[in-house]
Each structure stands twice: as structure tokens, then as C-alpha cells.
Structure 1
Amino acid sequence: MEETILLIESEPAKRKALLSCLSKDYQVLTATTGKHARQVLVQIPAIGVILFDDGIPDVSSVEFFQEIRVLFPDVVRVLLSDSGDEQAISDIMKREAVYQVVPKSIPPWHLLLLVNRALESRELSRRHRFLSRELKISDSAFRSPKDGLMKLIRESYEFGKLVFASDSMLEVCNLAKRGAPTDLPVLIEGETGTGKELMAQAIHGFSDRKGFPFLTQNCGALPDDLLYSELFGHKRGAFTGAVSDRLGLFSAADGGTVFLDEISEVSPTFQVSLLRFLQEGEIKPLGTEQTKHANVRILAASNQPIKEAVKEGKFRQDLYFRLRGFEILIPPLRDRPEDIPVLAEYLSRKYSESLNRKIAGISVQVMHHLQAYLFPGNVRELETEIHRMVSLAGDGEFLTIEHLSPEITRALPSEDRIKDRGHANGGRTLKEKVERLEARIVSQSLIRHRWNQSKVAKELGLSRVGLANKIKRYNLYQATH
């Protein structure tokens, strides 16, 4: 994917020269003030490099990079400055993790080379973190809930009840954190089972509304009249069966948040009512002409791209624009296999506690096979699998291949369908551990790139022949679901 650079430069001629050079290799966005830069960063989550000229009038470089270091820790930061204060330059590089401070007179082509090196360095750092995590997982993370499990959980990330380790989910959750304190509506998209409601709960928990109600409604489960009643309320006698007044979720959540799941399923007629509420904040319960106001933030979710529904004429464009104050896309689990070990350990602990069962850990082979499986049902399917495995295991046992469901074992290479109890306590040589680590890294890369072997070979630094040999050696094949 093409990297995006944010160039913050107030001088028109210099901005034009740098833009002309950098845009040959990268997508370049520009800003002329600190305020403008912040607006761009909120709207565009995937910035790779920030180039900041310290002549920007409305914010100092120290103040700006302090914010960036907290909100965008993975962004490469470069400062253009003619300051002769070596101590100040040293301080900002150390404290705010600025990659380089360069003179403002730097030739554009030289700055382009520096950006190339900076991004290469960041990629190497990411790979180092990934390999370090993989080595820890292989060597010690599957021993016991008290040892490996807790160590792995501490090294993972959390956002509300979402647990993850991947850079892709970190970017998504960082965007959600930035959007949480605002009062804008949020549209959360992702396949079934990816954790859209947990994301909504986390956003509410990081917002100024966290002390007020968080209420949910599945919009795909009810016809229009009942859905209207659930959200807007009704008066007694408004329809057959309305034996008493009903407040409605929007009124009940006043000051708080309402999460509307499966928003793409609402009818065109109901979309009009929802749009009116988003525009005016007015509620008119069924059976009355009186209106009242409710101060509610709307978070909506869909397992289908709303943009496509708009193109097909199934969803109102004006409602779509209202809902997407912030747009969050949760990637499917198959695109982030590095999250599976953390989730599996977290879930095994959860169900060990709920079932009052002491599990010794998860075998390395089981973890490898979980990562190789595509999980069409995403995290929800993984949770069901771990719940089942813990239920089948006895006290003191490791979760092994024998506990996996047939759905997953059928997708495994034949040589891997072996008992792994003998390896559960780490009974492998260093060479064997390294080989299994290599097999898992190759397998993950193949899954991540949908078996595009050219991309995998490039990512791993292999020739096509070398990659083909490793696929054959480790008996890897493309599972279909």
C-alpha cells in the first residue's frame, strides 16, 4: 500500500517544491497551520510520515510533536529547522522520538531519500517487534495461565474489552480513541463477529458520556413500527398491545450513547425518521404530536459496506454522510493472525475461570493451526472454538490438537495431524523451534497476502523459488472456506 506523507509547511514556494518531489513516490497531503494539520490527522488515519516546518505560526514544534507522540506513536516524525540550539534539537529528538532534524534548505531529493530510509527503518522495527513476539510465543507463552498467559497478555494492547497485538488493530483503535472524545456519530463497519459492539462500548467508555447510559438496538431484527417504538417510544393506545407508555431508547439514553447495530437493514422509510433525529435531535413518540429533545450520540454498525448500499440506492446518501462523522473499519481476523495467540490465551483464561477448570496452557501446534485457519466467523468463531476446547479438556491438561473441532482439523496439513502432548512442555531442540517459527511466519504471510506469492516473497526477502521450496518443505497449502 502506498504510504501517505503529511507535509506541514506555510511557505507556498517551498511547499510546492517539496510536494512536486515527494509526490513522485508517495501520496502527499499538505497543511499550512497546526490547526489544519490536526484536522487532516483526524480525517486520515494512515499517515506514515509527518514533515513539520518549525516556522508554522500557531503551534511550536515541541507542542505539536508531544501530541503526535501520544496519538500517533508509529508515525515517522521529521522536523525542518534552522535552529542552532544543539541541546534543544537533541531534546526534541529524544523526548518526542523525532527521527531526524534537517535544515530547511535541504534539497527536495535529499529529503525524499531521508523519507525512504525512515520508512525502511520503521518497517524493520515492526518486523523486529513481530519476530520478538513470535519467539516469545514459541518459547514460553503456552506454559501456564500464571506464567506464559499473563506475560503475553501484558505485552498485548487493550481498548475497552478489545484485546489485540496487531499493528492494523492498533491503528484502528488509535483512530477510535481520537474520535471518542468528540461528539460526532461513528460508523463502525466489519464482518460478522469482528467485535463491532465491543468497539462501540470502548468508544463510549473513552468519551465524555461514559457516566451516562450506553444502550443498544439491533435494527435488523424488527419491522419499522416496532423499531420506531423501541427507539422513539409510544403512548398508551398508540397501537394494539400498547397498554402503557414506553419511553424509547433515545429518551432513556439522554446524555449517553445509543448503538444501532445492522444499520444497513433499516428501510428507506425508517431512514427518514433517523435522519430527522440526527439533524434536529427531536423525538416524537407514536400516538402523540408532541415532540421533545434528547441529547444522544449515535454509534452505528454494519457488516456490509454502507457506501455500496448507497451506490445501489438502498441507503440514503445524506444519512450515510450524517453517520460517518468517524468511520471505523475493523479488519477480519484472517487478515491479522498475529492477534490469534493473544485472543486464544485471553479466552482460554476466561472460560477456565467460568468453567472452574485449570488448563495447563495451549500447545504450540494448536496455536499454529489456529493461526493457519481463516475463521470466517472471526473472533466470535474463535471464542466458540476455545470455549469448546476448554470444555473438553480435563483439569491440568494442555489444549491439544485432539480438542480442536473437525472444522479446523480438516483444514490442517496431513503431517500436522499428530498428537503434540510430547511437545507441550517445550521438548524441542532450538533448530526445531526455529523451523516451526519460520513455518508460522511463512504461513501468516501467505494468509495475509491471500496466497499472492510475489507479495509474500517480497515481504520475506525470498526468491519465488525459495518461497516455493519453503511451502513444499512445511507442507503448506491454501485452505478454502
Structure 2
Amino acid sequence: MEHSGTVLIVARRGGDWTDCLDVLSERYAYRVVLVGSVAEALTTMSGIHVDLAVAEDRKDESIGLDFLTRLRVSHPEIMRVYVATGGSPLSYGTLTKAAIYQFLLTPLDATQLGLVVERALEARELARRHRILSREFKISGDVLRLGERRDLLFRPESHQFEKLVYASEKMAELCDLAKQAATTELPILIQGETGTGKELLARAIHYNSPRRTSPLLIQNCGGMPDDLLQSELFGHKRGAFTGAISDRLGLFRAADGGTVFLDEISEVSPSFQVSLLRFLQEGEVKPLGSDKVEHCSVRIIAASNRSLKDMVARREFRQDLYFRLKGFELEVPPLRERRDDIAPLSEFFAAKHADGMGRKILGITASTIEKLSACDFPGNVRELENEIRRMVALAKDGEYITTRNMSASLLASAAARSRSDGPRGFVPEGATLKDRVESLEKQIVGSALLRNHWNQSRTAAELGLSRVGLSNKIKRYNLEQQG
């Protein structure tokens, strides 16, 4: 389900946005998400990548404008369009504070809104390219430690599946499969270690599915007693148990037409597994204390940091429930198995937290990326993000993040890995000194080419060679690009 961008519209209930939604989604192929409150907008933004936000205010209101003002700080990369009622007093200072790209008056013209959104996103892309070029060509040698390399900033193209950032083949394959799974109605089982991004993947799937206009509700099943989990998911009637002072709808009925994400599904008891299996088979919901059975249409996405297949083999998890849950089975690999993702993730988190802290960070040096990439990160992406947030906080405005900002434990881990790996396991060949030096030179040039994905300009700059000089060495040593 490809789209050319995501537009979030925050509008009070009762307004007619039908024509605007049709123009934005049909003529421009944008994904449009319409929400009725700021709280709903913030929840939505936590799960999907948003390119532009439109906020509406009616007469004598400033809720939408306040939201756009906050957005300028929390999500400065999102373009902002303000819609106000005709005749409303609009202060230039107030609009400037929110850094609004454009404001429109009701009644809205759908064609005009479409053009404004298109121009805003074009301006956003131009600004993004300008920032990249400005950062790459900025001379700031005095802020780096002696010997700290700042090169290799143009990395292999990274990709995003909503909030998931990746460059590795493993994650590309996973996200391609997740996009296919999103278009179906089948349940999905996501497995992987803690901190790998299972909830982000679940959110991405929901917002790329036919159910994206309906709620996504989340329940962590870990450490919850059966009666409380039964009440949270299936609901209860007043007086069903001590403390039940009013009826509770339950997540399944509240998410009717949408998706429920059940995290830590491996922790539910055998008796609750039976209730969940019946819901998956029949769509039946029976609240605690009620004799009435109701039906609802909910897609289940479940996640576990333990292998359910192994638990089934040990008779710790019902086999029939396991087969019901894994309409699609997605395994999120740990960060140590996809080190290519560390660089784009680090830069993404650095930009994110620098914006959030109001800091101006020029980037992350190549030496720092290399040391981060040498770490195993047992806490996975979550641990990496915490480290980058700490490093951003320690870096000075207008500087690069360098190895001096890294925590001592990670530096020690990177050093230990380098020692255990040795000099990449390489022993120079040849009988004479000349032969051995040439063997070492061939290894160094070949490794640099691989590291730079055979980008010869970048490799030559790293090795201090001219393009012609590098080309001669490639021919001399018969180096060939693989794949």
C-alpha cells in the first residue's frame, strides 16, 4: 500500500472534510488520517511517520493553533497548516510562533488545500536536502579530537517503515513481509528480543492496513492476573466483582473494526489461553458478570520475546492458539545481527533528540559510528537510543558527536571486540617484505571498498588517494565488486 506522504488532520467532530479527504487521498495519493482531538493526534503520531499536520480551530478557539505551536518544538520536521473560521482574529505574532507554512479559512476549498499540501511537502523536501548539503560541507575541524574521522557521512540509503529505521537486508525483508501482511485480515505474531521494536512494527502494520481509520489499542499481558486481564480485554458488568462500580467496555469491543496489540502473549495463563482462543475462532466477547455474548471484529497482533514454538514443545503454550495467532509470523532480529542498521538508527536518534532538546548537532563522526557498530547492545534498539540520547545531552552546540561522548562501558565493549577480532583475522602473505606490504595494501584497499559499498570517490577520500590512484590499485590487485 504505497502512498506519497502522510497527512494528519486534527478537526473537531461534526465538520465536513469529505471533499478534502477525497482530493488528498485520490488525486494526490496521500495517506490521510483524520482525528478528532489533540490527544488522539499525539497517540497516532507515536505510531506512524507524519509528513504534514493540518489543525482546525472554530470561532474563539485556539486548540489547533496551540497543537501546531507545540509541534514546532516536538516534531519540527512536520509541516504545519492552520485552518480557522472566516472572520476569526488571526495574530501575525501567534502564527509566526507556530511557524505555520500556510493558513486557510473556512469554508475550505478542497482543491486549494491539495495545492497547499503539495507545495508544503515540496518545500519540506528542498529544506531537507539543503540541511544535508550544509552539514556535509560545513568545515568544523576545531571541534574534533586529533585523529577522529568525520568522513563516511554519506551512508547506504536508509529506509523507514513508519517509525522503524533500517538499512540492513534482514530488516528490509522483514518490513516487506510486514507490508504484505498488513493488507490482509490474518492475525500476526511478532517475535524477537526485548527492545527490538516489536510494538513499532505492530503500529506500522495497523496504520498500513485497511483498519487504519479504526482504533489501535495496546495491552501488555505480562504479570497480570487472569481476572484483571479478562476485565481489561473482555470488559465487565457493574457488580461482577468487588470494586466493579460501573460497566467496563473492554478493549476488544472498544477496538471493534480496528486492531488490538497483545504484548508479552507468552505470559498468559493456560486458562486465559482458552478464552483468547475462543475469541480468535468466533469473535465472541462475554463480559465478566454478563450472560450476554457479543460479537466484534478485531484483528489481533500478538508479540513475544520468548519462542512460542519452543513453549508449545514444552507444553507451556497451547498449540492450537499458537497456530491461530501465527497467520503471519514475523521475527525481528536483534541489533547485533543487523549491524548495518546501527549507523542510520544512530543518526535518526541523534536528530530526534537534538530537536527535542533544542540542540544543534552537526552529526556523528565515523569513528563513533564504528565503535557503536562494534557493540552488541543486549538491550537492542532501546539501549542504542538511550545511549544516543545521553551523547546528545553531553555534546556541545554546533559540534559533532564524538567518541568522547560515549559511555565508558560501551567504549570498553568496542575495544574488547576489536581485540578479540584482531586485525580482521588477516595475515600478510609472501616471502619478501615487498610481497607482504603489497598483500597488506590489497587487504586495506579491498576492505575500504567493501565498507564504502564500492563508492570509489568516498573510498579514495578515506585512503587519501586520488580517483585515478585508487583505480590503478583496483586494477593492480584485480579487485572485483561482488554481487
Q: CA deviation at 1:394?
A: 1.3
Give distance in 1, aligned partners of 2:307 and 2:209.
25
Structure-2 residue corresponding to 1:203 = 205
Q: Is 1:438 paired with 2:430?
A: no
Q: CA deviation at 1:438?
A: 3.0
Structure-2 residue corresponding to 1:445 = none
Deviations 1:185-232 (A, max 9, x none): 000001000000011011111110000000100001311110110000
Alignment of 1:51-62 (within 5 A): none
Give distance in 1, aligned partners of 2:159 and 2:383.
21
Q: Is 1:270 paired with 2:238?
A: no
CA contact (8 A) 1:393 1:399 kept: yes
Q: CA deviation at 1:298?
A: 0.1
Alignment of 1:191-340 (within 5 A): 191-340=193-342
Give distance in 2, aligned partners of 1:388 and 1:317.
44
Alignment of 1:388-399 (within 5 A): 388-399=390-401
Give distance in 1, aligned partners of 2:132 and 2:374.
18
Which of 389, 409, 412 does residue 410 from structure 1 map onto? 412
Structure-1 residue corresponding to 2:388 = 386
- Cα distance change, pair 437–165 in 1 and its aligned pair in 2 (3 A): farther
- Cα distance change, pair 236–414 in 1 and its aligned pair in 2 (3 A): closer
Structure-2 residue corresponding to 1:144 = 135
Give distance in 1, aligned partners of 2:445 and 2:411.
18
Alignment of 1:47-196 (within 5 A): 144=135, 155-196=157-198
Give distance in 2, aligned partners of 1:180 and 1:272.
26
Deviations 1:168-195 (A, max 9, x none): 1010111111111110000000100000
SS in 2 for 1:379: helix
CA contact (8 A) 2:217 2:255 kept: yes
- Cα distance change, pair 282–416 in 1 and its aligned pair in 2 (3 A): closer
Q: Moved runs in structure 1, 4+ residues, more than 4 A?
A: 140-143, 145-149, 151-154, 414-417, 434-437, 439-442
Q: CA deviation at 1:350?
A: 0.2
- Cα distance change, pair 160–333 in 1 and its aligned pair in 2 (3 A): same
Structure-2 residue corresponding to 1:53 = none
Amino acid at match of 1:169: M
SS in 2 for 1:260: strand
Deviations 1:392-444 (A, max 9, x none): 11111211111111220111338999xxxxxxxxxxxxx99x959937968xx
CA contact (8 A) 1:262 1:303 kept: yes
Amino acid at match of 2:270: P
Amino acid at match of 1:438: S
- Cα distance change, pair 220–441 in 1 and its aligned pair in 2 (3 A): farther
Give distance in 1, aligned partners of 2:133 and 2:233.
46
Give distance in 1, aligned partners of 2:281 and 2:137.
52
Give distance in 1, aligned partners of 2:284 and 2:132.
53
Q: CA deviation at 1:301?
A: 0.3
Amino acid at match of 2:293: T
Moved more, 155-164 or 251-260: 155-164
Give distance in 2, aligned partners of 1:290 and 1:161.
40
Q: CA deviation at 1:153?
A: 8.6
Give distance in 2, aligned partners of 1:412 and 1:339.
17
Amino acid at match of 2:370: H
Amino acid at match of 1:203: I
CA contact (8 A) 1:233 1:245 kept: yes
SS in 2 for 1:412: helix
Give distance in 2, aligned partners of 1:249 and 1:286.
13
Please, which runs of 5 or more residues in structure 2 have no aligned partner? 1-130, 139-149, 420-439, 452-483
Structure-2 residue corresponding to 1:49 = none
Amino acid at match of 1:195: G
- Cα distance change, pair 397–272 in 1 and its aligned pair in 2 (3 A): same
**How well do the aligned residues superpose, as a CA RMSD in angstroms?**
3.1
Alignment of 1:454-469 (within 5 A): none
Q: CA deviation at 1:152?
A: 5.6
Give distance in 2, aligned partners of 1:291 and 1:373.
52
Give distance in 2, aligned partners of 1:348 and 1:166.
19
- Cα distance change, pair 439–266 in 1 and its aligned pair in 2 (3 A): farther
SS in 2 for 1:258: strand
CA contact (8 A) 1:373 1:411 kept: yes
Aligned length: 289
TM-score of the two chains, using structure 1 as the length reference: 0.56
Q: CA deviation at 1:305?
A: 0.7
